[in-house]
Amino acid sequence: MSEMLIGQTPLTPSRSGMKDVSAPLTHLRRSRGWARRVSLAIVLALLLIIVGAALLAPLVAPYNPTDIALDQGLRAPSARHWFGTDQLGRDVLSRVIWGARVSLLIALSAVVLAGAFGGLVGLVAGYAGGWIDIFVMRFADVQFSLPAVIMALVLVGTVGSSLLSLIVVLSLANWARFARVVRSEALALRNADFVLLARLAGASSTRIVIRHILPNVGNTFIVLATLDIGLIVILEATLSFLGLGVQPPDPSWGAMIADGRGYLERAWWASILPGAVLMTTVLCFNQLGDALRDGLNPRLKSRW
């Protein structure tokens, strides 16, 4: 027995065996990266179609969205009306396209205003600290304690519903998100080595914030702004659904869903199709935000 043990060589894992074990993991990572790239390409294609149709609405919409034809009311989707018609005989596809124009205009404008104001406040609060930071964050806490929909309803009911008022109200309802996220980034960066060196070199606070801190919060700001577009699209559709958003006869996705809900049993397309386009738009912006988050984060770039 001892001779047999002496004559045998110990069993050790071979290099080829280790390669065989790691090969499936490598293949799995590549498959996941390929799936992410394919899904991102689909999302970008859908967003290109939606945004392109909104920008070119006067050219691509087959009918005038406000034209009424009572004899064509509640016609099912067909070659003449791809999305059917509503109860007043208006082409649903044309109204969806023009509604995208209105919704995206409001969402982009509100994101720019909310991001500019909230980002500036967050930068100042995070870099200055002290009582300024405490005051801004307590004010943001009050903002977060109020549901965005309720706050928007109160403000729109007070100032009235117009395109400009909707943009201002939705900006006021979302600035705190930008302020809190940017403030946390600035708070972490204000004691970084490059900031301390700039301070020792005699750079002013304004120069440090603009030249050193602002570029380092840009990635986070872009991701948050992309995700916020989908949120504001939903808020605008909610206000329009409740009758406080875009007013008739101008088309709006939320108003179209509200108008068609009474005809769901015999004309489902009047409400379901605008809702499907709304859902697709929000999902695409959310997926784009997630992709930007992974792509702009150096620790997650390997996933792509």
Task: List, for residues 164-206, the tens digit of each pLDDT value.
Answer: 888 988 898 889 999 999 998 888 888 888 888 888 888 888 8
Q: Of all helices (H) and strands (E), which one includes residue 250?
A: none
CA distances from 39 to 32, 42, 131 (A): 10, 5, 46
**What's the alpha-carbon Rg for the chain, to the nearest Å?**
27
Domain spans of the chain?
32-303
Contact 115, 221 (CB under 8 A): yes
100-150 pLDDT tens trace: 999 999 999 999 999 999 999 999 998 888 888 899 899 888 888 888 788
Nearest to 297 by CA among 289, 229, 212: 289
Q: What is the Cα–Cα distance from 189 to 34, expressed in whole angstroms?
A: 35
Q: How far is CA 229 from the centre of its chain?
A: 4
In the CATH scheme, what is the code of domain 32-303?
A: 1.10.3720.10
Confidence of residue 250 (pLDDT cuts 50, 70, 90): confident
pTM score, whole prediction = 0.82
1-40 pLDDT tens trace: 444 444 454 545 544 444 444 556 565 566 666 778 888 8
Q: What is the Cα–Cα distance from 282 to 107, expressed in whole angstroms?
A: 11
